[in-house]
Amino acid sequence: MTKTTRIMLGVIGIVILASIIGILAKSGGLLGVSHVGQTGSKPTVIIGVTLPLTGDVAMLGQSNKNAIELAYSQLDKTNLKYDYKLVFEDDGFKPSIGATTANKLISVDKVDALISFGSPVGNVVSPIAEAAGVPHINDFASDPHVATGQYNYVDYTPASEDAKLFVQELQRRGINKIVFFGQQDNPGSAALINAFLDGVKLTNIQVLSTQMIVTGTRDFRTEISKVKNLGANLYVLELSSPELETVTKQLRTAGVKTPVSTMETFEFSDQLSLFEGMWYVNCADAAQWFVDLYTKTYGTAPKFGAANGYDTLNMIVQSVEKAGDGITVPKGTEINARIGSIKGFDGALGTGMSMGSDHLVASKAVVRMIKNGVPVTITP
Amino acid sequence: MDIIPQLIVNSIIAGAIYSMVALGFNLIYGTTKFFDLGYGALAAVGGYTVFYFYKGIGLNLYIAIILGILISGAIGLLIYRLVYAPLRARKSSGMVLLVAALGVMTAVQSIVAILFTSQFQTLSRSAGSEAVYNIFGGVITQTQLIILVLGIVIMVAIGLMFRYTLFGKAIKAVGDDEEVSKIVGINTVRVIGWVFFLGSAIAGLAGILVGFDTGIEPTMGLSLLLKGVIASIIGGIGNVYGGVLGAFLLGFIENFGIWQISGEWKDAIAFGVLIIFLLFRPQGILRR
Amino acid sequence: MEYLIHIAILISIYGILGLSLNLVVGFTGLLSVTQAAFYGIGAYVTAILLTSTGMNFFLAMLLGIVITAIISLAIGFVLSKFKDDYYALGSFGFNVIIYSIFLNWQSLTRGPLGIPGIPRPSLFGFTFSENIWFLVLSVVILGTIYFLCRFITTSSFGRVLKAIREDEEAISVFGYRTLWYKLAIFVISAGMAAVAGSLFASYITFIDPSSFTLTESIFILAVIILGGLANNKGAVLGAVCLILLPEILRFVGFPSDIAAQMRQVTYGVILILLMLYRPQGLVGEYRL
């Protein structure tokens, strides 16, 4: 037993020592460099971002990060009252890791505001931000529950907006028989399908079948066989990449010529040519100048949700600037009051946006089409 | 019931992919008696090697494929020499090997992800323009046909090897009793090394073919492997023909299962079948 | 500070999971890889009762334990038919099936949308809303479970378990009904995992199926393999190490996009090295 105890004490000792060194090194206790603004004269406001840089949606998370860094690089640094510092953490889109990253950002990095990505992590971060009194904006949540509480906001088109426009467009085009493909373990997909089923109740549109698949599946041939002869005039794909492309290819291979459409998902894809000529509904449209700027900076087009990241950072910066006097960093409550009353905000997702009393930034959905491999908006 | 022919074709396609995985797995299990989970990650190694040489560097397709097969085989052999051989020499239990294999799988997958990112990639250069054949109202693509044919060819080749070559007989002897084989003068470490090379090369080939059919990603191995393991167990573990039989049986059960139930239960159906077989016929359909 | 408290709470929860699994894997020698399923059932029962009926947390936790115990009794009964590798594989299967149920029984679990807004526990009018008090609660529960495990493993019941692990046939010759012992410890272990689940649900305030996958079960297994099998202190030590490891790596300063993959590589390599050089873990008393 003495040997056991010795090993245990040894390991615990090493681990604790390593963590202390790690935390000290990070917070500048040993090196004494960080947390000082670039110019040294202005106080520094720290903004923490937790988003997925690994896992199934890493592509979207990376694009969101790029957009936030782009917004940061565009800040008019000389004329702002504060210096700003960004800290990114990877949560892999997993709620339990999101709790860790949010706690780390708040208590180790001492962030003044938080940005999170997606409903699962957002739902975990909200109560943590609320308890700490740190304003928190989620830029990718289809679940409005994330905006519960005084300090939590969502800057993302709600699923009900997409669904409303989608139903309108179906009626306008006289499409009345549709088949859904949904992703059983994807909260965004579930929220959109539920919102659609709510919105379609009083219309003559029939949902002939809803096929739910699980992330990681690569063989959809039997699901396709089941719906192939139902006589649908549209297939609606609420799937993320690569299930989206795989289902589309397997539909075509199976000889299905029927058009496909979606709420939101096509722009997940890096193979837009698969959807040539297809119309779909997307969350609020990113302005052309943003798409150009992003493409010029990173060499690829922004994934969807990126513009939300760009705007969210600017909203926070503007709110901090309004709340503070330039001498001390404003408190969470002060920043929060400014975020809650955002009005007439001009950003990548449009002009004159404002924060609703429900803590949601109301942005409108749009109908788009893939033309020559590029998304084009066809209704304002 | 015009859906039935397509369902049969779908089941055969799924079975063909599972059989590729089951073949290599069964070869390794039959000889060494342990569940090599690391085997799954080698499918990704094969797929990504071809991705690198074919789409990255622009090498000839066939050379890239051969390189993919050889490199996965070599890495399989390397892992055996570094990890499994010392463990086996020490008479570690099957569970120690299982946990070590889990470590191998995790590490290899992540290294692939660091080198190539975790993004899903397709191997074929021309998307969606593949030749398609119609069989009794069911649709099958050229790649799927190749998978089916290769699966049968490899099965027959391994069967013939066991029956007619000295090397095949040595593998069988090691699988039956390693100690006795050693005594009669078989270099067991070397024979098992070759088995790992062959098995891993088959895994690599499976990964490459799946890459041409749908696509590749670093984590593709685990789900492929689990299906291969289930196929081997229901068909008869350690039996070359049993693995293939089990693979097609699993293909049929899954596809007809989700025809009646719903697609999201596919994995649960596969594991449900596994548990039923483990309970009532643990030796599988064909005994070794 | 909040961050350290958060890490400490996670360690307590995984400590409970490690202790519970150690009873089955370490002391009884059954390689179960389905602990996340019981952890999840406990979490879901608590979450559903708390959000839909406003029941007291401790009552909900108790009901969670009861329901988990009933389900685990059935699963344990099936698993008791298997041995070694097959036991592990069968338990894999049950984890996949239970995960599918969490995901697909949407009317009850809300599927992928998860259950948000789970309240914190309260007792006699005091609510554990501050994390520091929640930590106190978790540590008290961890301590209780620790002493419970110590009591079980040092009792005559525990000695029979170890005897089953060493030689099941020999002990059954002495007239012990080993099936009942194996079932009893499996159910006790599942009940403890349910306690961890209740704590997790109420602490994080949001649960969805992604927290209860096969990978999570493998992680819990890694906790006890690293810490040491058949040693209660080892289970807690393993949780300390594996929860802190990624946090330390967070501060090392890898670029954040490869940091997560580096964690996975480290974790895989640790498993391999342990199996090669120290298969009993840091302080373990039993080798797999």
Answer yes or no: is A74 within a domain. Answer: yes
Last residue of a domain, one of A225, A247, A282: A282
Query: Per the domain annotation, does A275 fall within a domain?
Result: yes
pLDDT at C253: 66
Pairwise CA distance, residues A167 & A178, whole Å? 11
Name the pairing type of β-strands B138-141 and B132-135.
antiparallel
Domain assignment of residue A320, yes or no: yes
For residues B263 and C103, the answer to whether their CB atoms sit within 8 Å is no
Among candidate residues A282, A311, A329, the one where a domain is terminated: A282
How many percent of chain A have pLDDT more than 90?
Answer: 25
C239 Cβ under 8 Å from any chain A Cβ: no
pLDDT digit string, tens, across residues C49-76: 999 998 899 999 999 999 999 999 999 9
From CA B16, how far away is CA B247, in angstroms rounded? Answer: 7
The chain C residue lying nearest B262, using CA atoms, is: C104
On whether the CB atoms of residues C197 and C39 are closer than 8 A, the answer is: yes
Handedness of CA C129, C135, C140, C142 (dihedral sign): positive
The three-state secondary structure class of B202 is helix
The mean of the pLDDT values for chain A is 84
Q: Are residues A76 and A123 in the same domain?
A: yes
Task: Examine residue A323 and state whether it is found in any structural domain, yes or no.
Answer: yes
Confidence (pLDDT) at A35: 41
Region of A277 (left: φ > 0; alpha: ψ -120 to 50; beta: rest) is: left
**Interface contact flag, C282 A8, Cβ < 8 Å:** yes
Cα separations in angstroms, C258 against A53, B114, B197: 8, 6, 30
Q: What is the per-residue pLDDT across A227-242, written as a single tens digit (0 to 9) for each?
A: 888 889 999 999 887 8
Q: What's the confidence (pLDDT) of residue A69? A: 93
Interface test with A, best of B2, B9, B125, B214 (most A CBs within 10 A): B214
Give Cα B47 to chain centroid, integer Å.
Answer: 13
Assess if residue C9 is contained within a domain: yes
A269, part of any domain: yes
Amino acid in position C212? F
Q: What is the pLDDT of residue B202?
A: 94
Residue C30, chain B, CB below 8 Å: the answer is no
Q: How many structural domains is chain A composed of? A: 2
All residue ranges of chain B with pLDDT < 50 are: none
Point out the least confidently predicted range of A206-220, B61-75, C33-47: A206-220
CB-nearest to B107 from C94, C225, C268 is C268
CA gap B267, B58 in Å, rounded: 37
| pLDDT, tens only, C211-231 | 898 889 988 998 998 888 889
Q: Are A125 and A222 members of one domain?
A: no
Q: What ipTM was predicted for this assembly?
A: 0.86
Q: What is the pLDDT of residue B288?
A: 67
Q: How many other CB atoms sit within 10 Å of the CB of residue C160?
A: 20
Task: Give the end-to-end CA distance of chain B in Å, rounded to a whole number.
Answer: 38
Lowest mean pLDDT among A42-46, A343-347, A349-353, B228-232: A349-353
> Are A237 and A292 found together in one domain?
no
Per mean pLDDT, which range of A29-33, A271-275, B84-88, C7-11 is the poorest? A29-33
Neighbours, chain C (3 or more CB pairs < 8 A): A, B
Q: H or E element: which one contains A318?
A: helix A306-323
Q: Is the pLDDT of residue A377 over 60?
A: yes
**A374 against A175, higher pLDDT:** A175
Pair A273, A291 in one domain: no
- In this prediction, residue A32 carries a pLDDT of 35
**Whether the predicted pLDDT of A38 surpasses 60:** no
Which chain A residue's Cα is nearest to C103? A185
Chain C stretch 72-101, residues whose beta carbon is closer than 8 A to a beta carbon of chain B: 78, 81-82, 84-86, 88-90, 92-94, 96-97, 100-101
Of C83 and B67, the one with more pLDDT: B67
pLDDT confidence band for A23 (50 / 70 / 90): low
The C-alpha of C30 sits at a distance from chain A's nearest C-alpha, in angstroms, of 24
Beta bridge partners of A152: A136
Q: Flag the least confident range among A358-367, B127-136, B192-201, C3-12.
A: B127-136
User: The domain containing residue A308 runs over which residues?
Assistant: 44-156+287-363
Beta-strand (E) ranges in chain A? 44-51, 83-90, 113-116, 136-138, 152-154, 177-183, 206-213, 234-238, 260-261, 279-282, 345-347, 350-353, 366-371, 374-377
Give domain status of residue A349, yes or no.
yes
Q: Does A172 touch chain B (CB under 8 A)?
A: no
What is the pLDDT at residue B214? 86
The token duo for B237 is 């573990």
* Chain A residue numbers touching B119 (CB-CB < 8 A): 58-59
A226 lies within 8 A of chain B by CB: yes
pLDDT at position A380: 57
Q: Which of A29-38, A350-359, C140-149, C243-252 has the lowest mean pLDDT?
A: A29-38
- For C152-181, how does the pLDDT look when each residue is reduced to its tens digit (9 = 90+)? 999 999 999 988 888 888 888 888 888 899
In a shared domain, residues A224 and A267:
yes
Asked if residue A221 and residue A74 are part of one domain, the reply reads no
Q: Do the chains contact at A143 and C4, CB–CB below 8 Å? A: no
A276 and A134 within one domain: no
Q: Which residues of C touch A15 (CB under 8 A)?
A: 240-241, 244, 248
Question: For position A98, which CATH number holds?
Answer: 3.40.50.2300
Domain total of chain C:
1
pLDDT of residue A31: 39
Query: Domain for residue A6, yes or no?
Result: no
Q: d(Cα C180, Cα C277) in Å, to the nearest integer?
A: 35
Does the beta-carbon distance from C221 to B93 stay under 8 Å?
no
pTM for the full model? 0.88
User: Tokens 């297809």 label which residue?
Assistant: A278
Instruction: Identify which has the larger pLDDT, A364 or A204.
Output: A204
Q: What tokens does B285 get?
A: 């359909």
Average model confidence (pLDDT) for chain C? 89
pLDDT band at C112 (very low <50, low <70, confident <90, very high): confident
The residues in C 122-161 lying below 8 A from A, measured between CB atoms, are 129, 131
Q: Which domain holds residue C69?
A: 2-211
Convert the pLDDT of each residue in A92-118 to its tens digit.
Answer: 888 888 999 999 999 888 999 999 998
- Whether A63 is in a domain gets the answer yes
All domains in chain B, ordered by first residue: 3-119+131-280 (1.10.3470)
